[in-house]
Amino acid sequence: MGIMSNFVGKFMEQGYQMNEILGMLAIAGIVAIPGSMFVGFLDAKFGTKFAGIIVNILAVVAVLFNLTDVHALHYVALPLLGIMLGGSSNMMVSCTSAIWGRYDFQNAFRVIQPLNSVMTGIGITVVGIVGTNFNYMSAYKVMFVMAICGLLAMMALKVKPIDKDVR
């Protein structure tokens, strides 16, 4: 989506010093490791769609908190961001597996993984262009809209195995 690629610019624009920003990135990065496992637990226990919705809600809330000038909310957003970043990488594999199953996974993933990379690149590019040419707060507003769209898409996604007739 572009959060990490614009993190330094956004917080420098808000008056943070580089040492503090690097500490904030470290917090999010450290939380991402157990965050990935937590999202995996949610996926296994409650299903891929539920876990995907939680990941997207965390993205919406984290970006929303970062749209404020309240430093405490920026720090509250860091673990949410870490869980979201750690867990989001699981979702592509989980959704592919849940929909296409283990027999068609390889063929489906061949298409989905490059599409995911293209969409990620587009998000990072758009946010980078907005942040560089306008300001990073505007870029985060774009990310907020993207996060809402991601949440709505996940809510609408039909996460059920495709019938054998379709294959």
Q: Which helix (H) or strand (E) holds 66?
A: helix 48-66
The CATH number assigned to the domain holding 96 equals: 1.20.1250.20
Q: What is the mean pLDDT of residues 117-124?
A: 85
Please report whether residue 163 resides in a domain: no
59 closest CA partner among 139, 152, 155, 150: 150
Residue 146 lies in a domain: yes
Is 140 domain-assigned? Answer: yes
Domain contains 104: yes
pTM of the model: 0.88
| Tally of domains within the chain | 1
Region 102-106: mean pLDDT is: 83
What does residue 121 show for φ and ψ, rounded to 5 degrees?
A: -60, -40
What's the confidence (pLDDT) of residue 15?
93
Which pLDDT score is estimated for 165?
A: 59
Mean pLDDT of 52-67: 94
- pLDDT of residue 167 exceeding 60, the answer is no
Would the pLDDT of 63 be above 90? yes
Whether 166 is covered by a domain: the verdict is no
Distance CA 67, CA 166 (A): 44
Look at residue 92 and tell me if it is in a domain: yes
Domain span including residue 25: 4-156
Checking if the pLDDT of 127 tops 90, the result is no
Residue 109 lies in a domain: yes
Q: Is residue 117 part of a domain?
A: yes
What's the average model confidence in pLDDT over 43-56?
Answer: 94
What percent of the chain stands above pLDDT 70?
96
